[in-house]
Amino acid sequence: MVKVRTQDLIDRFELELVGGKDGVHREIVTSDISRPGMEMAGYFTHYPKERLQLMGRTELSFLYDLTEPEVRDRMENLCTDVTPGIVITRGMEVPAALIEAADEAGVPVMRSPYKTTRVISRLTTFLETKFAPTTAVHGVLVDIYGVGVLITGKSGIGKSETALELVKRGHRLVADDNVEIRQEDYDTLIGNPPNLIEHLLEIRGLGIINVMTLFGAGAVRNFKRISLVAHLESWDGEKQYDRLGLDEETMKIIDVHLPKATIPVRPGRNLSVIIEVAAMNFRLKRMGVNTAEEFSERLNSVIDVDNTEIE
């Protein structure tokens, strides 16, 4: 389970710590960020105290209309034993009552010189990436013409050898053997290699090779969005494989369904070229061109014409 602490935000975004330094190791448990508006008015019944709190010009200017005892009361209620931190934006002056309450409760108060919307955007993106659902898949991830293709199949089917040929053809390796995948947003899967085997490729009979050393920095990527699954399987003479491309298979990873192409493997088939063309065909479909459907419509038109002539 990934743990994110307030100190991580201070280091990552170079935030200025102005109070509550004893709580910099508090754990952040959610990617949600709260702007305490109703709380500034004194309503704490549904205060999301477990969230990171962010105060901008609106919240701070409201405090100027309150009496000193009211400001002190709001700040004391804002700083709870589970609040991971409070971020002040625009480099604004931090109220003395907030620093006092934060020091007493051990809630870190941080300041950023940037605008509120920008700070929220960057913090949310960072936290959602950290808390995104993750899994690991046995396979190879390659960037082919900008399409992240996850190559899967049984061990020894030829995934790594195919990836090596794709790299030689100018494409980029992301991960071999084990692909760590995290879900960002509702329909986005990002794959990356484990740190131990980053940029490495295992070829049976040859051993482990460093793709970046052999082919240069342009032959690798550290992460890539997965758009297509190419599943390799041994050729089965009794199985009916899709010959037109009308049948659309999918593979579910976490909560996302990805288009899947099942490619039978037997001697004489150039798998790297086939997967390369599959990636190009996928791009073509996203542009609105579906060759299989166009052929089917053309075939139906010919059949209709023939039927009309017979009648």
Residue numbers in the known binding site for Mg(2+) are: 160, 202
CA R_g for the chain: 28
Catalytic residue among 26, 159, 171, 221: 159
Cβ(44)–Cβ(53) below 8 Å: no
Catalytic residue among 3, 46, 239, 243: 243
Q: Can you say which residues are annotated as belonging to the binding site? A: 153-160, 202
Pairing of strands 86-88, 16-19: unpaired
φ, ψ of residue 235 in degrees (nearest 5):
-60, 130
Catalytic residue among 115, 138, 168, 286: 138
Q: Can you say which residues are annotated as belonging to the binding site for ATP? A: 153-160
φ, ψ of residue 107 in degrees (nearest 5):
-105, 120
Cβ(87)–Cβ(123) below 8 Å: yes
Q: How far apart are CA 272 and CA 140, in angstroms?
A: 13
Name the nearest CA neighbour of 128 among 303, 11, 259, 4. 4
Q: How far apart are CA 193 and CA 221, in angstroms?
A: 9
Give yes or no: 177 in active site: yes
Catalytic residue among 74, 172, 177, 221: 177
Give yes or no: 3 in active site: no
Name the nearest CA neighbour of 181 among 145, 132, 217. 132
Residue with tokens 């199985």: 239
Catalytically active residues are 138, 159, 177, 243
